[in-house]
Amino acid sequence: MVNKELQNNSNLENSNNNDSEIENEATQIRISLNEGRNSVTIKGKNGHIRYDLEGKAHENIKTPHKHIYKNNMYNGEIKSISELPESPVKLTKEDIEIVKTYLQNIKK
């Protein structure tokens, strides 16, 4: 999941999304699935994505948005983590579904 996002970061924003619908869904996820916490982090082999469901804007991108980070490897070990220059990015409906599915699965 994270690896797909890191590889396809040029297609992260979908202009057809309804912003208020996504905001409402993000709020519902925060309340009903994320114990009122504002963000969710999903880790992968090559990095992680932090989904900010509510909170302040970053780089003039208001929430909900996501920050994409990649692991910088040296000799097979993580030496540092860097946020990709495209971050943050507005959440899409696909992102909302990813977060919802992730949180539902960890509650099982």
**Which pLDDT tens digit goes with each residue over 46-72?**
999 999 999 999 989 999 999 999 999
Output 13 or 25, whichever has higher pLDDT: 25
Which pTM does this prediction carry? 0.80
Distance from C-alpha of 103 to C-alpha of 51, rounded to nearest angstrom? 12
* b/e code 30-59 from CB counts within 10 Å (16+ = b): beebbeeeebbebebeebbbbbbbbeeeee
Length of the chain: 108
Spacing of C-alpha 47 from chain mean position: 12
User: What are the structure tokens assigned to 99, written together?
Assistant: 């977060």
